[in-house]
Amino acid sequence: MSSKSRDPRRLRNLVQYKNMTDAEFEEAMYEEELVPEESYEDFQERIQEKYREFEKDYDLSDMKFNDTETLMSLCTALVTKSDYDKILFNLRQKEVQGGYALTLIEKFGTFISNLEKDISKMQDDLNITRKTRKKTKEESARTELDRLKELATKFYDSIMQYVYCEKCNMLLSTVWFLYLRGDNKISLTCNRQLGDDESVICGHVTEITSESLYELGGTNHPEGFKF
């Protein structure tokens, strides 16, 4: 809007102003001075620019129509809030003029507060809040950790040899041999308690070589279980 069109004498008889009191009209003119001049096209371009910023940070390819509409509303709200923040800043820099500044500070403060609530809700709807992003990252980290644990378990199972008591099938040891086909031999005594009497144990001695474990598929008791 040009400075000529802002001339109060030209604006006083417009429909939106004609029924105002002089005090209300002066306040409206004071507010009008704070609002930056901008065309509708320029405003829409700023909204599109905000949308493009979201495209850089998020994958929007799967968005449904309603999600897209919500995101456009979010972009509009963010651009509008930015304008209101600037107006509120400018108001606070001005000297109080007939109480207008204080009234407008309260008014724009309310506008901004309501916008922030709307923005927060739209961010929740779109799952793009900081809390949601943090939760998603934590879930991804937990998933990756579980995957690594599973791989580690499989690797451990693939290299370890399991030795069971030949008499009672108790797992006696898990061992790893660097040279499975070498002349390696182990002897293990089973101390499994039998019954309620602690002094009564299995006592069986199991002797086995690394090569025999290799030939048996990693355990001397294929039907047994692994801890």
pLDDT of residue 34: 58
68, two tokens: 């897209």
d(CA 184, CA 209): 5
Tell me the C-alpha distance between 194 and 192, whole Å: 6
- pLDDT score recorded for residue 72: 92
Q: What pLDDT is stored for residue 227 in this prediction? A: 38
Map tokens 């998020």 to a residue: 58
Report the phi/psi class of residue 6: left, alpha or beta, with left for phi > 0 and alpha for psi in -120 to 50.
alpha
Task: Determine the pLDDT at residue 135.
Answer: 56
Q: How far apart are CA 130 and CA 123, in angstroms?
A: 9
Task: Identify how many contiguous H helices and E strands the chain contains and give both numbers.
Answer: 8, 4
pLDDT on residue 76? 93
pLDDT value, residue 226 = 43
Indicate the pTM of the whole model.
0.46
At 58 the pLDDT is 80
Picking from 196, 192, 213, 221, the residue whose alpha carbon sits closest to that of residue 204 is 192
pLDDT of residue 1: 41
Taking the chain (227 residues) in runs of 10, the rounded mean pLDDT of each run is 50 64 65 66 90 84 85 92 83 60 77 90 79 59 81 80 89 85 86 84 91 85 57
